């Protein structure tokens, strides 16, 4: 890849915001260039699946098949996935977001979202939930 082209790709990568596909179309990129730019955005090798049914959608998957990003003409959302396949963060085009924390066994111990909802959970040695406290004041206690 020549230096001028590399600078162009880096410029687009630095400039690009969701909705990715729609915004990449403004640059006139082909599918290989889109994949290259999305790989740079996500910092890893990814797969892109473009579905052209009734509506054009784009899906970005990591090497394990986890969905990192999805877009249609009217909505987009993106996920951050940890090394164990847990979704640690989600957001969409409406401004809604959700973040999650997991224990070493992959159980969600804390979740909160942009609506103000949160939940804290505790699990026993058998991975069964024994305690949960919710933002509305509800408590489940099986300790």
C-alpha 98/C-alpha 114 separation (Å) is 6
- pTM for the model stands at 0.78
> CB within 8 A of 36, min separation 6: which ones?
9
pLDDT in tens, 31-85: 788 888 988 888 776 777 766 655 667 788 888 888 899 888 889 999 999 989 9
C-alpha 32/C-alpha 76 separation (Å) is 21
């Amino acid at each position: 890849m020549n230096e001028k082209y590399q600078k162009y790709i880096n410029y687009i990568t630095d400039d690009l915001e969701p909705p990715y596909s729609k915004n990449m179309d403004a640059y006139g990129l082909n599918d290989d260039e889109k994949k290259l730019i999305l790989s740079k955005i996500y910092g890893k090798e990814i797969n892109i699946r473009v579905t052209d049914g009734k509506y054009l959608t784009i899906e970005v998957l990591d090497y394990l098949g986890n969905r990192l990003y999805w877009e249609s003409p009217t909505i987009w959302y993106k996920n951050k996935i940890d090394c164990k396949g847990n979704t640690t963060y989600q957001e969409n085009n409406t401004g809604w977001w959700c973040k999650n924390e997991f224990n070493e066994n992959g159980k969600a111990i804390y979740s909160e979202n942009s609506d103000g909802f949160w939940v804290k959970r505790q699990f026993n040695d058998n991975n069964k939930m024994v305690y949960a406290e919710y933002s509305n004041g509800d408590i489940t206690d099986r300790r």
